[in-house]
Amino acid sequence: MLAIFKREIQSFFTSSIGYLVIGLFFLLNGLFLWVFKGPFNIFDYGFADLGNFFLLAPWIFLFLIPALTMRSFSEEKKLGTLELQLIKPITHWQLVMGKFLGTFVLVLAILLPTFLYVYTISQLGVTIGNLDMGLVYGSYVGLLFLAAAYNAIGLFTSVLTENQIIAFILSTVLCFFMYYGFEALATVFSNGKLGLFIRELGMKSHFEGVARGVLDSRDFIYFISVSGFFLLLVVVQLKHGKR
């Protein structure tokens, strides 16, 4: 698994995709948070906090994480190297987790420099440094769990096809549905309890709970379950494709 993990990391930074994704993440965040007029602009918002960043990041990850994962299995299927991976003395789970962790570490690399936003905004307040760091850390934790779920979904769609563009589109659509689709679906039902139940099937409600600084174990269990479910589907698909 360690060898797969290292190879994934190296493949990101020996090609342009890793740098491109990191650059796009900061470009889009920078434009929406600091330049473009709108609901995400920090200066228009009027409060020195990172709430807008944590509202925006899930939507940017909705496109960037599928861009990272689309090649994970699709490229190897197209090149015929996936079969070579499957005959090596590693389990399917080790192969999948190696790729999963490789992409997840890249997400960490993308998020670490955003702590510059924390410092910048803490200096913009009326009282310098008056920033609720507990809320900030909780939001970062929620964003990491959300990114892990996106990552698992992206790997699942990548293993379904050898076409990277199809894998990207499928992953983006599925991530969007899992993040926002259930919340939209909940508005159809007039029954409040049923609507609430459907809403809580989606990622958005659980992410917002953690992002508010409420560290509820049910939210963590939800994200771990979603990630584990889609990773299990990847393993099942690998075993099915091998036969």
Can you give the pLDDT of all 243 residues of the chain as single tens digits?
A: 777 888 888 877 777 777 787 888 888 888 888 788 877 777 776 666 677 788 888 999 999 999 889 888 888 888 877 777 777 778 889 999 999 999 999 888 888 888 888 877 777 665 665 677 777 888 888 899 999 999 999 999 999 998 999 999 999 999 999 999 988 888 887 777 888 888 889 999 888 888 776 777 888 999 999 999 999 999 999 888 654
**Owning domain of residue 197:** 1-241
Provide the Cα torsion 62, 66, 69, 74; round to 10°: 160
What's the predicted TM-score (pTM) here? 0.89
- DSSP structural state of residue 46: -
Count of domains forming the chain: 1
- Give exposure, 155-186, as e/b (b: 16+ Cβ within 10 Å): bbbbbbbbebeebbebbbebbeebbbbbbeeb
